[in-house]
Amino acid sequence: MLQFNFSNLMQDGIGGNGLMKDDFKRIDGNALNTAIQSGKSPELEFLDLPGADTSAIKEMGRYAGKFDNFILLGIGGSALGPRSVLEALSPFHNIKSKPKVFIYDNVDPMTLHCIMDAVDLKKTVINVITKSGSTAETIASFMILWQKLKEQSLKPADHIIITTDPVKGNLRKIAVDYGVRALPIPPGVGGRYSVLSAVGLLLAEAVGIPSGDMLKGAVDIHNKCIGRDLWQSPAFLFASGVFLMQQMKKRDITVMIPYADRLKPFSEWFCQLWAESLGKDGKGLTPYPSTGTTDQHSQLQLWMQGPEDKVVVFLSVEDYGADVQIPAVFRDMEGLSYLSGHSLAELIKVEQEASEIALAKNGRPSITIRAPKIDAYHLGQLYHFFEIATAATGLLTGINPFNQPGVEEGKNLTYGMMGKKGYEAKKEEFVKYRQRKGKLEL
């Protein structure tokens, strides 16, 4: 089970910059419980994912797992979720295992060119993921791959798996019209809350990751967080801590630093969840993705001595699943020999704690989450924990954590330039902007 330590948010841990127990009286733990348990908001459907029937996903996973290559088309949560599952639980996947996985979450033509070079479409399954069925980036790459299959006289229905809304949208229509395999994303589950649906679990099953363990982990963390007193719920305490640090101490940047290379994409998954959920109405918490120890040599300076605007979330690991001893070489050189007899796991864990201490001594707050190991069970806990904590933070800050109205304008302008019907005015606006620009061009 994940362990959560909040000591370094408190005055006990970091001195005057910290919070006091009394500060938490501003938080109504019962209201949080009620809001989340009532299930009134349809977007809370992500809470039901751990208990859902996944037999269809498993069956589809067996089908997809027989191919040599697995191309995933999706963007935002549709890519960040699956990628973070894959890299955490199958490190160096494409060097060691099959099917090889290529996640295309952009419209960069060079990347698609390289993927096409690397795979034989005959031996490739393509999972296209967009809940709405109309995400321009995903649809563009889907159309290209559909055509490429046809050009090679391959049947799209044999090579494509669609993950989309159970009823609505272009992709659902295509699934029906062309007899293409399809998995549903529950209607209330938004992209950034979807990793424990078919979005993240199909890829997991296809490469042999036990998705059931992820869901079991999610159930267990759910029970550790919900229906409990504020001081007994790690998710509500996390939400309350960052909320109070923002309200009372003006700390509005949340740094996520897992100490494991395999969790770097998890950091990025968290950043989308946090940024898109909580950044609106002129307010919001800005996430900052990081990886330890690596980014101690990139960002730690800023956290230690930069502006007092951050709360650092350490994610430490007990068992790395491997270890390497540092041998007794160069015994005559003091600058090296002190490391002999220690191991890499020991070093990385000491560095994590050293950073935590150094920050605390400097009055800089942090939260530490300890994972016994990086496996499906604990990764499932991490996802579900942060989804609950994000929803709770939205409730506390009065921000709706489930929508993203701010991205519409950019989409509409793109539609205009791409000639989508009804967006002619946006095209005009775009063209005018181009003419106006260039005043301060060097």
Catalytic hit among 93, 411, 420, 427: 411
- The sign of the CA dihedral 203, 206, 210, 213 is positive
The nearest distance, CB 154 to a second copy, in angstroms, is: 14
Name which of 56 and 275 has its Cβ closer to a second copy. Answer: 275
The nearest distance, CB 59 to a second copy, in angstroms, is: 27
The nearest distance, CB 76 to a second copy, in angstroms, is: 3
Quick check: helix, strand or coil at residue 36? helix
Name which of 181 and 264 has its Cβ closer to a second copy. Answer: 264
- In this structure, are residues 248 and 23 in contact, taking their beta carbons and an 8 Å threshold? yes
The nearest distance, CB 214 to a second copy, in angstroms, is: 19
The nearest distance, CB 355 to a second copy, in angstroms, is: 5
Asked if 297 is an active-site residue, the reply is yes
Rounded Cα distance, 308 and 246, in Å: 11
Asked if 356 is an active-site residue, the reply is no
The nearest distance, CB 62 to a second copy, in angstroms, is: 26
CB < 8 Å & 24+ apart, contacts of 227-234: 227/33, 227/37, 228/33, 229/29, 230/24, 230/27, 230/29, 230/32, 231/24, 231/29, 233/29, 234/2, 234/4, 234/385
Catalytic hit among 87, 205, 268, 276: 276
- Which H or E element spans position 226? none
Catalytic hit among 40, 96, 297, 421: 297
- DSSP assignment of 356-406 equals HHHHHHTT--EEEEEEEE-SHHHHHHHHHHHHHHHHHHHHHHT--TT--GG
Name which of 61 and 415 has its Cβ closer to a second copy. Answer: 415
Name which of 1 and 31 has its Cβ closer to a second copy. Answer: 1
Name which of 377 and 423 has its Cβ closer to a second copy. Answer: 423
CA distances (Å), 286 to each of 29, 245, 270, 312, 394, in order?
A: 24, 13, 11, 12, 13
Q: What is the dihedral of CA 387, 390, 394, 397, to 10 degrees?
A: 160
- In this structure, are residues 76 and 108 in contact, taking their beta carbons and an 8 Å threshold? no
- In this structure, are residues 77 and 199 in contact, taking their beta carbons and an 8 Å threshold? yes
Name which of 30 and 106 has its Cβ closer to a second copy. Answer: 106
Name which of 54 and 254 has its Cβ closer to a second copy. Answer: 254
Rounded Cα distance, 107 and 215, in Å: 32
Asked if 276 is an active-site residue, the reply is yes
The nearest distance, CB 56 to a second copy, in angstroms, is: 25
CA distances (Å), 306 to each of 11, 309, 356, in order?
A: 20, 8, 16
Q: How many residues does the chain have?
A: 442
Residues with active-site annotation: 276, 297, 411
